[in-house]
Chain A
């Protein structure tokens, strides 16, 4: 965990459950992490691992019912969001935390122009006049590198390409100068060359306005280019949490370890990919012991019996594996 500055957001023991007909879905089950000012944290995991629900919990946007934050604290600049009333939370959500989603089309209203949607956000949160808001909106469009900002201001979402819409979403999220940007799979729906543009833009904004970023993604490549710290989630829990180089080059959890080796890479010719057998478990019916044990190539008796706690495998490197401390040797032994 890079501890480079003052803590901006701290999440402690967050539990978000969904109460469905089939049973209780423990979408997020005891997740803790923190983000310092200007830090970029990546939350990595497969679909259904709870990464999006974690982000929505931070924004207090969990649909209730069926969802509910059962336990935990979400401390943003020293204040617990879970103890605030609706008005105060809206204040924080609008003024201090911005969020962008995978599909910008669903978060933009198709019947209003891009410009009016951004200036609306500016007016609500900053209390500017109509003219000033318009000015600010155009500035924001320029900031996210939308060419011909004045002309684009008057256009509707459907007249924008996918990449442009995502830029517009970012502009809207930035409209009230947030300190934290939560980006939920911001580039997944985009083409590779456009994805590169968007990630470049996010990186630039971090440098220019000192924005902290919580990046939620399944793409290990995108993470490598942006994040400083990585939080790996599996079946609603944190399984590994450390700075990026440690996770990528010296992983102490078999899930992250095998995931790195199972992706095809542009810069390497591989004959066979390592595979992780099976599929992620159903959150209603988790296996006993470690959730990853049925798929784990190194699993032993103890893994199926006892759930490993998240603890330090080495200073600043948390892992939830029984063999985290001597993972390298253990892994080598099993492989050989």
Chain B
């Protein structure tokens, strides 16, 4: 860079030489500010785009979300429609409708009640996406709040918060969720709460340690020397720099929540039948796994692929956000 310039004769109060008109300069500043801010994230996006696996994950996630949103348009049939209960259907149609292998009419076949599996799968994605997003949001709100409190202020509050988090670590997520669900009763809303509440501890712990390391940076000390308030230090200096591991964890956490919902639904605690979710589809098709294993296979693959997609994206984000790669050579 040939940016170097010796300090010229220049005193405070004197008009700085901008090399252009003042208005022009203001405009240029505004433009560059937008550009500058995006440039920081453009950097991350650049690295992410060059990570093939992360891009695969991202495409799958986008498709999943689109499918969930446009489910009524995409589903070839009403997911609840069963010819068995259709008074217009002939007895022969009824007999031939159940457990059909994939065909042009039913791309993924039909289930034991003659319902279109593809339609149920498409509608089931809504549950997964909802659980993933809502549960992780709940975890984030609780986890970030307590993590920030513990990390920034330390002391007794830190000990109390972190020991409570340890209690949550003491039992496996699924067991904990089952316990909570038993108290709250089955149902989708309670699944959000159970998974969300259980997830806070990890987020709090990650955020706390991230804050602890960011806090040691000299720029935080610099802000303090200037007389910045705690609120300012937290919001301007610590948060933006401590949030990166949380972005990674939350992304992967969505996958985890989807898996946990499937577990709970499989145990009959999640979304109640007949409304389809991938988890309760698994339960529903379990009895046929010896005779017609493909039925169970379909929701199973859907779960695995979406969970994997979130893990791949999270992994890619971790590499892309790594500040060690940042800066000049």
**Chain A residues at the B interface, C-beta cutoff of 8 Å:** 20-22, 25, 48, 277-279, 282-284, 294
Contact = CB atoms under 8 A, between A and B. Distances in A.
A282 B2 CA distance: 11
B4 to A, nearest CB: 5
A273 to B, nearest CB: 13
Nearest to A287: B2
A48 B328 CA distance: 11
B214 to A, nearest CB: 24
Contact of B329 (A277, A279, A283): A283
Contact of B2 (A20, A25, A278): A278
In the complex, which of the residues A25, A48, A277, A283 has the most CB atoms of chain B within 10 Å of its own CB atom?
A277
Contacts of A284: 329
14 contacts: A20-B329, A21-B50, A22-B329, A25-B329, A48-B329, A277-B4, A278-B3, A278-B4, A279-B1, A282-B328, A282-B329, A283-B329, A284-B329, A294-B2
Contacts of A21: 50
Contacts of B1: 278-279
Given A278-B4, A282-B329, 16 more contacts: A20-B329, A21-B50, A22-B329, A25-B329, A48-B329, A277-B4, A277-B6, A278-B1, A278-B2, A278-B3, A279-B1, A279-B4, A282-B328, A283-B329, A284-B329, A294-B2
A314 to B, nearest CB: 33
- Chain B contact residues: over half helix, strand or loop, or mixed? loop
Interface in B14-53: 50
Interface of B: 1-4, 6, 50, 328-329
A286 to B, nearest CB: 12
A277 B6 CA distance: 8
Contacts of A48: 329
Most buried by A among B1, B6, B328, B329: B329
A140 B201 CA distance: 52
User: 8 tightest CB-CB pairs across the interface, nearest first?
Assistant: A278-B4, A277-B4, A294-B2, A278-B2, A25-B329, A279-B1, A282-B328, A283-B329
A284 B1 CA distance: 12
Contacts of B328: 282
Contacts of A283: 329
A296 to B, nearest CB: 12
A282 B329 CA distance: 8
A25 B328 CA distance: 12
B45 to A, nearest CB: 14
Contacts of B329: 20, 22, 25, 48, 282-284
Nearest to B325: A21
A294 B328 CA distance: 19
A196 B25 CA distance: 53
A21 B329 CA distance: 11
Contacts of A278: 1-4
Contacts of A282: 328-329
Nearest to B5: A277
A306 to B, nearest CB: 20
Nearest to A275: B6
A95 to B, nearest CB: 34
Nearest to B328: A282
A120 B100 CA distance: 69
A234 to B, nearest CB: 16
Contacts of B2: 278, 294
Nearest to B46: A21
Nearest to A283: B329
A279 B2 CA distance: 8
Nearest to B50: A21
A48 B4 CA distance: 19
B319 to A, nearest CB: 12
A19 to B, nearest CB: 12
Nearest to A276: B4
A21 B47 CA distance: 10
B141 to A, nearest CB: 37
A74 B60 CA distance: 51
A277 B2 CA distance: 9
A277 to B, nearest CB: 5
A25 B50 CA distance: 20
A333 B70 CA distance: 78
A305 B169 CA distance: 66
Nearest to A278: B4
B101 to A, nearest CB: 49
Contacts of A279: 1, 4
A55 B321 CA distance: 32
A282 B50 CA distance: 23
A223 B50 CA distance: 44
B291 to A, nearest CB: 53
Nearest to A20: B329
A289 to B, nearest CB: 14
A195 to B, nearest CB: 25
Contacts of A20: 329
A329 to B, nearest CB: 26
Nearest to A48: B329
A21 B4 CA distance: 28
B2 to A, nearest CB: 6
B277 to A, nearest CB: 42
A25 B329 CA distance: 9
A202 to B, nearest CB: 31
A94 B294 CA distance: 61
Contacts of B4: 277-279
